[in-house]
């Protein structure tokens, strides 16, 4: 990886304020994270969010909105993988979140955003912090 890649994360919010997180397997294990994936060539952020959510959970979100961006330097230090992540927010469309990629995720849970399960994936944790603080970016210090 000679240049940063772009990740997409989605905060899906239920009417009661809970958000959807899953426990990762394989890549980025054993961290908990909001659902998401990689931006593909020629896709918009919104297209990626809709595609990834359907692939991972079976939920059909509509009109996701970009709310935050993260520069994942902790992940770079730990895994030598540098990602810039774009976070979008979407309302829960109703229905049950299915675990459609059991090789990548142990399962989905609805949690309160101010009490996240640990350990939590850096990009997801930063994105949720931005969501809670109603800001789009949290400056970081190197080292």
**DSSP output for 34-86:** -SEEEPPTT--HHHHHHHHHHHHH-----S-EEEEEEE-HHHHHHHS--EEEE
Determine how β-strand 36-38 pairs with β-strand 19-24: unpaired
Q: pTM for this structure? A: 0.96
pLDDT attached to residue 119: 96
Fold of 5-133: Nucleoside Triphosphate Pyrophosphohydrolase (3.90.79)
Q: What is the pLDDT of residue 68?
A: 98
46/97 Cα distance (integer angstroms)? 19
- Could you report the per-residue pLDDT of 32-69, keeping only the tens digit for each? 999 999 999 999 999 999 999 999 999 999 999 999 99
């Amino acid at each position: 990886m000679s240049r940063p890649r772009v990740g997409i994360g989605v905060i899906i919010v239920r009417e009661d304020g809970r958000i959807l997180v899953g426990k990762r397997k394989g890549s980025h294990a054993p961290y908990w994270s909001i659902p998401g994936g990689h931006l593909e060539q020629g896709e918009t952020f919104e297209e990626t969010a809709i595609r990834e959510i359907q692939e991972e959970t079976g939920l059909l979100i509509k009109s996701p909105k970009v709310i935050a961006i993260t520069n994942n330097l902790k992940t770079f230090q730990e895994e030598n993988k540098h990602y810039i992540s774009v976070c979008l927010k979407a309302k829960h469309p109703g229905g049950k979140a299915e675990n459609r990629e059991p090789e990548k995720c142990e399962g989905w849970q609805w949690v309160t955003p101010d009490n996240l399960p640990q350990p939590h994936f850096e990009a997801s944790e930063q994105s949720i912090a931005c969501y809670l603080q109603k800001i789009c970016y949290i400056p970081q210090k190197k080292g």
